[in-house]
Structure 1
């Protein structure tokens, strides 16, 4: 009977090994979201540009758009920022910003320095809207349809390859929304 107890550590080690080995083949950018095909959570948060103006989910309706979660403390946000500027300027895509757990003064300076691709920026200094949206961190980018429904979520930087995928999805959503 005591010999069986000798195998318990081996079995535990094998179980942990199988669990960790499975994780090697998972895509960290594919995080599930309970909000896909659901409206943006209701919120009332200040605008970065006009802090006395409160923005709501209604302000994000009307056109198929990207909602980009970003912050000045996020090095990957800076990495993707050039691509966002290109998307907004060259392709005319509407991008809304969600400045996440950041200081508004730093965010304004950052956008002045690196240029501003956003139609409007919601200040989520406490992270409450991000929490409601299931944001793990910055950057994350969501596709919103005309009704303000979240149709897709991308975790990580938007580079040219990711943009090609997002563009295709946005074009499909525009066809559906007609």
Structure 2
């Protein structure tokens, strides 16, 4: 008889455990996904991929180093990328922010047409057509934006569109990285 009473409480215990996991999950911010590269200030993974805008040119991590910059993962199939694209153009044009791009799992012709039509905020664009660089970086999808220090190390990662509110955070991180480099 005692075993039957014990079995009667199993659904209640399972319900409570599941409720705790769901409650915890609702408190997480989906734009703050863990990034080993950012947490450990690691350099970009090694790569040698073509430039989207100059297909005969191969780009490496060294081509994305030299100053504190943003690295934006984008694609033409990504509606949120289109949403943020105008803001990235404004940052590059009006505020002089250096932005590099990774065109992720996309068709090069469509991507070049996109940049022609909507303008190009990127200093250089890496063509990651197979998604290997994105995989090595831990990219979940597009858009994602990283802050790179002058040595090309990842210092911060943002998942989702860059807008005025996100830019405030990115700007603070970039300033902190510049200050650390001077001190």
What is the alpha-carbon root mean square deviation over aligned residues? 0.9
Aligned to 2:66: 62
Which sections of structure 1, spanning at least 5 residues, go unmatched? none
Aligned counterpart, 2:150: 146
Question: Distance in 1 between the 2:130 and 2:122 partners?
Answer: 21
Q: Which residue of 1 aligns with 2:138?
A: 134
Structure 2: distance between partners of 1:9 and 1:126: 46
Instruction: Measure, in 1, the Cα distance between the counterparts of 2:17 and 2:179.
Output: 48
How far apart are residue 3 of structure 1 and its match?
1.9
Q: Report how far residue 53 of structure 1 moved.
A: 1.2
Alignment length (residue pairs): 178
Deviation at 1:31, TM superposition (A): 0.8
SS at match of 1:38: coil
SS in structure 2 of the partner of residue 39 of structure 1: coil
Task: Select which of 44, 53, 68 maps to 2:57.
Answer: 53
User: TM-score if structure 1 supplies the norm length?
Assistant: 0.97
Please give the residue correspondences for 1:3-42 in structure 2 after superposition, counting only pairs within 5 Å. Answer: 3-36=5-38, 37-42=41-46
Give the unaligned 5+ runs of structure 2: none
Mapped to 2, the partners of 1:57 and 1:26 lie a distance apart of 32
Q: Displacement of 1:71 after TM fit?
A: 0.4
Distance 1:172 1:24 in 2: 30
Report how far residue 164 of structure 1 moved. 1.3
Q: Distance in 2 between matches of 1:8 and 1:172?
A: 51
Instruction: State the secondary structure of the residue aligned to 2:73.
Output: strand
Structure 2 residue matching 1:19: 3-state secondary structure:
helix
Q: TM-score normalised to the size of structure 2?
A: 0.95
